[in-house]
Structure 1
Amino acid sequence: MGDKANTHPGAAGRATAADQPSEVRNVVLVGHSGSGKTTLVEALALTAGAVNRAGRVEDGGTVSDYDEIEHRQQRSVQLSLVPVEWGGYKINLLDTPGYADFVGELRAGLRAADAALFVVSAAQEADAVAGATRMVWEECAAVGMPRAIVVTHLDTARTSFDELTKVCGQIFGGDDPDAVLPLYLPVHGAEAPDGHAPATGLVGLLTRKIFDYSSGSRSENPPDAGQEELIQEARNRLIEGIIAECEDESLMDRYLGGEEIDLKTLVDDLEKAVARGVFHPVLAAAPAGDGGKEGLGTVELLELITGGFPTPLEREAPAVTTPDGKPRPQIVCDPDGPLVAEVVKTASDPYVGRLSLVRVFSGTLRPDETIHVSGHGLEDRGHEDHDVEERIGGLSVPFGKHQRGLNKCIAGDLACVSKLARAETGDTLSGKDDPLLMEPWSMPDPLLPLAIQAHSKADEDKLSQGLARLVAEDPTLRLEQNQDTHQVVLWCLGEAQMDVALERLRTRYGVQVDVVPHKVSLRETFATPAAGRGRHVKQSGGHGQFAICEIQVEPLPAGSGIEFVDKVVGGAVPRQFIPSVEKGVRAQAARGVAAGYPLVDVRVTLLDGKAHSVDSSDAAFQTAGALALREAAADARINLLEPVAEVEVLVPDGFVGAVMSDLSGRRGRVVGTEQAGPGRTLVRAEVPEIEIGRYAVDLRSISHGTGRFDRSYARHEAMPPQLAEKIREQAEKGT
């Protein structure tokens, strides 16, 4: 770490392939949208020598311009990998989107990483540690992932590093705020006319040294007399926080007894506590100014990553089974072990085609070898299960839009693989002679529907392929071909993901689509008994058509379906035509009798009829059965049935009242609440599905991004008469 030595090791430039897992650090950057993650990655790349002062790589482009959509929308929408070298280590920086709609990209970054940097912006004040960021922190804590905090935007007039550090301690530290403490304090320069004094350096609390960045390069100076008191107070608290997490229980007694703990012991214990995920240092960082080579705090951050974050050897890999589910021994990070890798991201490159970002957990991946691809069990989301062999193309390491070839990728490292035609995000790559399947990572269920249709015949031909590629890239999308409404529905996490999906269809796959209103699967049923007579008699020369049938229709309990009963006596309807009547009735029931929705939960009884020895036929009695059902419906009260969903909403306690009020306004019935952990409540309700089409967006607004919900189909029940009448009128107008 920065306090370990007086000189930093210097830039080593752009990373290639690692030779040993101990040389690799995989770090994911997490934070609210606008917190400065991508800018921080660029600053680290500049300090490491991977880019020039303009932020550009040798062969053009910047580390952050991989996707044209990101340029147009001015925000990150996908996971990106930026590998750099520092002090003989390869650091894989995984930059994730901060917007909640792209949490799938975040989860992929967490899967590929061994440690996390939580980036919070001093400029965002109260929003700096957003609810979604807190939830990710808790996810990392649950699996013991090491975490550090980086404060950005120290150049703004509203910043207060001390206050933000306290907020982080309260929120991230929980019951132990002293587990979240700064390693450095910012040093401020001369006060500007607006009263703001920009940060020009850092003071190392363990070494009592000033690291000055005001010249654009890092230099060391001793503190002045006025800084000693400030340093000592913060230093004492830091030392106590480190010792409290130390595995040597005697160290605290020695410290409290007045013994001066040597710097090497403190740094070693700090690194161990960080690697074990029990101590979380806070650092400050800012990009270099004009002409600068090193941004504020970037050297210290690179040294924390290489010295304090664990190697892949120290992180337990996910469980594996055979493709048919039989358990296998736990894999270890060994380049000579059996090949086990996972596709954490799938993208389409305009020059090389499909690219798969892969984390290798065991073994060594090499170009042009044949491997086994195991599917991931997301068939319900439109991702086909598969169990195939594929020959991979080249291996490369990305940097912006460009790829640099690799001759191998060892256990613990990441690389891009080309020409994997069948592999999708979440798939396992393993040896062809020993196929394996990794335990999948958690993915949120997309609950915002987007109904689309091809804009033209030419687009219709390309739509299915474009959608298949889209869901192959993003497992948080779910593709549905609704058999009831005959709509193609792409289920998304939010409006931003929806916009990106539409733009990718248009620009990447050349498919123009129209967005249409999403329909829910309504039903019709008889509310009262009714009788109907179907008469189909036509004479047009030669054989005519003759069929008459009389039916009785009665409502049945929910879930009964269509029941057909034959009570014809005396052969009024010949036996061979009774199935024809039933076929006609069922066909008309499928088409609906009032607003064009399927008829359910009725008993249709065939009572009587007439036939002609020459003109009666199967087709004639099918038509007569349909006509009889329609006539019965005309004389009965028909109910429209709407699907009702069981909804479970998990929110912080402070939002429970707002959530319950909102659900009531959606014709929902709250059926119960229960505590679901410290400070959180689970609200259970039953809500008509027609009322929660946009609930994924609305809940995010109500709960300030901290709420989430699940839904499942409960049943169909009668729709309120006034709403049902409105839908009938729309059906009659054809809208």
Structure 2
Amino acid sequence: MKEYTTDKLRNVVLVGHQSAGKTTLAEAMLFNTGAISRMGRIEEKNTISDWDDEEKERGLSLTTSLIPLEFQDHKINLLDTPGYTDFQGEVKNAIRVADSVFVIIDSVSGVEVGTELAWRYAEVYQQPIIAVINKMDRENANFSGSLESLRAAFPEYKFVPIMIPIGSQSDFRGVINLVTMKAYFDAGAERADIPTELMAEAEEARTYLIEAAAEADDKLIEKYFAEGTLTPDEIRDGMRLAARDHRLKTVPVFVTSGGKNIGTIPLMEAMLRYVSPPSERRFQTVLPDGSREYRLRPQDDSKPLAAYVFKSSTDRFVGTLTYFRIFSGHLDSASQTYLNASNGKEERITALMTMRGKEQIPLSVLHAGDMGVAAKLAHTKTGDTLSSKETPIVISKPDFPDPLYQVALIPKTQADTAKMGTVLTQLCDADPTLRWRQDADIKQTILEGMGEMHIAVAISRASKLGVNLDTETPKVPYRETVTAKAQATYRHKKQTGGAGQFGEVSMRVEPNTGGGYVFRSEVFGGAISSSFYPSIDKGVQSVLSTGVIAGYPVVDVAAVVYDGKEHPVDSKDIAFQIAGREAFKEAFIAAKPVLMEPIMEVQITVPEAMMGDILSDLNTRRARVQGMDTENARSTITAEVPLAEMMRYGSVLRQITGGRGIYTMKFVRYDVVPAHIAQGIIAAHKPAAAAE
């Protein structure tokens, strides 16, 4: 691959709902550049983007693929992202490093939940957006309908077709370029005259395009008012300004069929014309005090190095591959040591490359704005920044969503147990939306992610890294507490012929809401020596982690010793530990104990017509609906729901909505478990406790 300077680079991300055709579109563009001699097909498991065995097996993209395209003396770093909503983290990071977001819309389905998610991410990172209505060759394809669905979903934007289709469905055979007023049949390498029957439609659409181009620049609008039209170059200039500035909220619209390779060359030309070169990109950094500031354009090779890691992957045989985008500065292939500014550790880069799917392509230099890959970096994970040691720069990371799905992990062998922590850490370092922890309260290893498929893929990857894991539904992290005051006295007396044990403790247990555990003494007159207070406290604390009524941690209680007795010879530490423990348990049981459960704030967004079904389902989950809002034919329901009722909600929501719903979930507080449910939990604990 030849060397490309910053002005010859374009960074584009393809985003959209699952099955909108992103991977097939990338395949067509690769074919157009001559990088491949035959277009692969997802059904045949031979596309460049989806090269991983897991992707081939499932028939969908699971990670972001870097696809460099050499086209018309430029290099387009194309990022093909997953559409399945479990993999939102991949989409966020890809948008973070692109300079324009191409939103791919299925011409039959129009705007879907994945479209909206990606669109909002582009807004968060203030990225320009270009819309591509794809799959125009499909049965029931509808360009106008898809365009209207965009306008309905995002009414604050102006959608301006630059290309319109020639034909539709099985008759789709090309596109009309409204700037040049020429037709481009098939892939679009050659110009032709517009079919006569489409001329009126094209002229009407061109008028709308000219008006939109004029509105982007004061000089152009003066020219338009004076002469009533613009030249093709002026239209391009106006739309270039509009397409590159997110604040103008003007979205150019193109039309393609990736599978039939129709309209794809004009789309690639648009990437060169309407996407800003990387020199124009500003980027946000994190200062040592935690505040943030923007590094303003232009970015070039002479600036300090700042390379953001947007992806990393680990393979048993290849090792770790680190994908990055250089926001400023440059890298060459000479072995050098750089600073991971995110953690302060040094990394040596011995060779540079780019990837085309799984193919490694060596590079000698990467200029500002380019994307590349380094192998075997030991201390760098997704979201980190590589910089020069002299001028550390930390690029701000995206805010990733909270996990929605979790499983408890069970290693299959002792060898798996020994390696599990290392492998899970590798997986989570590569994917910021994946988290693992040892939960001491429920005594399980928990893996959290964005959904069932996300977790299943992680388990499969762990297996490929040599750790085999079974999964089960995690225990709910209930808590135990009391709602009233109660007291009890317990005497521990043990005589075995030699030295005996004696300790008597009178204890009161009472609520300490929000204050955690407190131990104090109200003993007067020396009934118990103060030297035994720590022993009593230790005995009580031995119960806190294992619980009293159901085996869950005890929280928010005060244990108050108010009386007791001791023996001048037989009283000792262990005696008062036991007496304190048993007095606490008896008083706890008498103090109207309750189970507490985690309550989650859940936001569910679905098509408006499905809101009734969602509300009906929530009613079965002990939900408390906090609010409902409908906008652009989509309804958002906010509710508080016990975590116990949400453990597998993603699968239920997908079933109810046919994959058209999304939800977020975050912890709010603990609340009392209803008595009839608590009884079942407590009853289930008794056999297990007896067995122990």
What is the TM-score when the length of structure 2 is the normalising length? 0.90
Q: Distance in 1 between matches of 2:541 and 2:510?
A: 15
Output the CA distance in 1 between the equivalents of 2:503 and 2:78: 76
Map 1:378-393 → 2, pairs under 5 A = 386-393=343-350
Identity of aligned residues (%): 33
Which is worse superposed, 702-711 or 142-151?
702-711
Are residues 1:622 and 2:589 paired?
no
Shift of 1:730: 0.9
Q: Contact 2:28/2:39 (CA < 8 Å) preserved in 1?
A: no
C-alpha distance in structure 1 between counterparts of 2:268 and 2:638, whole Å: 46
Matched, 1:644 2:595: no
The answer on whether the counterparts of 1:448 and 1:696 sit within 8 Å (CA) in structure 2 is yes
Matches of 1:717 and 1:54, distance apart in 2: 56
Answer whether contact 1:16 1:397 (CA < 8 A) is retained.
no
1:428 equivalent in alignment to 2:388: no
Aligned residue number for residue 337 of structure 2: 370
Which residue is equivalent to 2:180?
207
| Equivalent position to 1:584, from 514, 535, 539 | 539
Which residues of 2 match residues 339-354 of structure 1 at below 5 A?
339-354=305-320
Q: Give the Cα–Cα distance (whole angstroms) in 1 for the partners of residues 102 and 15 of structure 2.
A: 6
532, 536, 545: which one pairs with 2:492? Answer: 536
* Range that drifts further, 278-287 or 365-374: 278-287
* Residue 470 in structure 1 maps to residue 439 in structure 2: no
Q: Does the CA-based 8 Å contact 2:16-2:83 persist in structure 1? A: yes
Q: Deviations over 1:31-79 (max 9, x none)?
A: 11011100100100000111112549xxx97522432110111110100
Does the residue aligned with 1:489 lie in a helix, a strand or coil?
Answer: strand
**Of 68, 73, 86, the match for 1:88:** 73
Cα deviation for residue 439 of structure 1 reads 1.9
1:513 equivalent in structure 2: 469
What is the deviation of 1:517? 2.4
Query: Is 1:185–1:205's contact at 8 Å kept on the other side of the alignment?
Result: no
The alignment partner of 2:13 has SS state of strand
- How much has 1:712 moved relative to structure 2? 3.0
The number of aligned residues is 681
- Report the RMSD for the aligned CA atoms in angstroms: 3.1
Shift of 1:723: 0.9
- Equivalents in 2 of 1:600, 1:165: separation in Å? 56
8 Å contact 1:372–1:387 — kept in the other structure? yes
CA distance, structure 1, for counterparts of residue 14 and residue 294 of structure 2: 32
Contact 1:185 1:204 (C-alpha < 8 Å) held by counterparts = no
Cα 1:495/1:16, change in 2 over 3 Å: farther
Partner of 1:382: none
- 3-state secondary structure, aligned to 2:545: helix
Report the CA distance between 1:108 and its aligned residue: 1.1
Q: Equivalences for 1:207-606 in 2 at 5 Å?
A: 207-213=180-186, 218-247=189-218, 248-256=220-228, 261-277=230-246, 278=248, 279-287=250-258, 295-322=261-288, 330=296, 332-367=298-333, 368-375=335-342, 386-507=343-464, 509-544=465-500, 546-568=501-523, 571-606=526-561
Contact 1:242 1:269 survives alignment (8 Å): yes
Q: Secondary structure at the match of 2:283?
A: coil
Cα displacement (A) at 1:318: 2.2
Per the TM alignment, residue 157 of structure 1 is displaced from its structure 2 partner at its CA by 2.3
Would the alpha carbon gap of residues 576 and 162 (structure 1) be closer, same or farther in structure 2, given more than 3 Å must change?
closer
Q: Helix, strand or coil: the match of 2:200?
A: helix
Q: Which amino acid aligns with 1:28?
A: V
Change beyond 3 A, Cα 1:719–1:685: same
Structure 1 residue aligned with 2:88, among 103, 111, 127? 103
CA deviations over 1:539-563 (Å, ceiling 9, x no partner): 334333x223142333224224334
CA contact (8 A) 2:544 2:553 kept: yes
Residue 186 to residue 408, structure 1, CA distance change in 2 (3 Å): same
What does residue range 136-215 of structure 1 map to in structure 2 within 5 Å? 136-141=118-123, 143-172=125-154, 174-175=155-156, 177=158, 179-187=159-167, 197-213=170-186
Deviations 1:259-279 (A, max 9, x none): x54333333333333233444
Separation in 2 of the partners of 1:618 and 1:316? 66
Q: Matched residues in 2 for 1:237 and 1:682: separation?
A: 34
Task: Quote the residue 1:43 is aligned against.
Answer: 28
Change (3 A) 1:602 1:45: closer
Deviations 1:92-114 (A, max 9, x none): 11000001111111011101110
Does residue 118 (structure 1) correspond to residue 74 (structure 2)? The answer is no
| Contact in 2 for aligned 1:204/1:211 (Cα 8 Å) | yes
Whether the 8 Å contact between 1:553 and 1:602 is mirrored in structure 2 is no
The offset of 1:312, in angstroms, is 0.8
CA drift at 1:565:
3.9
- Bigger drift between 229-238 and 474-483 goes to 229-238
1:96/1:549 Cα in 2 relative to 1: closer, same or farther (>3 Å)?
A: same
- Equivalents in 2 of 1:138, 1:635: separation in Å? 53
Greater shift, 489-498 or 222-231, is seen at: 222-231
Q: Aligned pair in 2 of structure 1 residues 684, 187: CA closer, same or farther (>3 Å)?
A: closer
Q: Is the 8 A contact 1:40 1:287 kept in 2?
A: yes
- TM superposition score normalised by structure 1: 0.85
CA gap 1:629/1:267 in 2 versus in 1, 3 angstroms: closer
Change (3 A) 1:17 1:621: same
Could you tell me whether the CA contact under 8 Å between 1:529 and 1:552 is conserved in 2?
Answer: no
1:646-665 matched pairs, under 5 angstroms: 646-647=601-602, 662-665=617-620
- 1:694 matched residue in structure 2: 648
Which residue number corresponds to residue 53 of structure 2? 68
Q: Deviations over 1:511-545 (max 9, x none)?
A: 1122132223322234444443333333334333x
Q: Which residue of 2 aligns with 1:380?
A: none
Q: Distance in 2 between matches of 1:158 and 1:372?
A: 54
Does the CA contact (< 8 Å) of 1:183 and 1:238 recur in 2?
A: no
Residue aligned with 2:66, SS: strand
Report the residue type matching 1:254 in the other structure: A
- For residues 385 and 438 of structure 2, the distance between their equivalents in structure 1, rounded to whole angstroms, comes to 27
2:49 aligned partner, one-letter code: S
Which is further off, 74-83 or 587-596?
A: 587-596
| Structure 1 residue 184 displacement after superposition | 3.3
Report the AA paired with residue 322 of structure 2: S
Q: Does the C-alpha gap of structure 1 residues 415 and 128 become closer, same or farther in structure 2, counting only changes over 3 Å?
A: same
Task: Look up the equivalent residue of 2:687 and give its one-letter code.
Answer: K
Higher mean alpha-carbon deviation, 152-161 vs 657-666, is at 657-666
Q: Distance in 2 between matches of 1:660 and 1:469?
A: 39
Cα distance, 1:342 vs. partner? 0.5
Q: Which runs of 5+ in 1 are unaligned?
A: 1-14, 189-195, 290-294, 376-385
Q: Which amino acid aligns with 1:374?
A: A
Mapped partners of 1:208, 1:325: distance in 2: 50
Contact 1:115 1:147 in 2 (8 A): yes
Identify the residue that residue 17 of structure 2 maps to in structure 1. Answer: 32
The one-letter code matched in structure 1 to 2:136 is L
| Distance in 1 separating the partners of 2:561 and 2:222 | 91
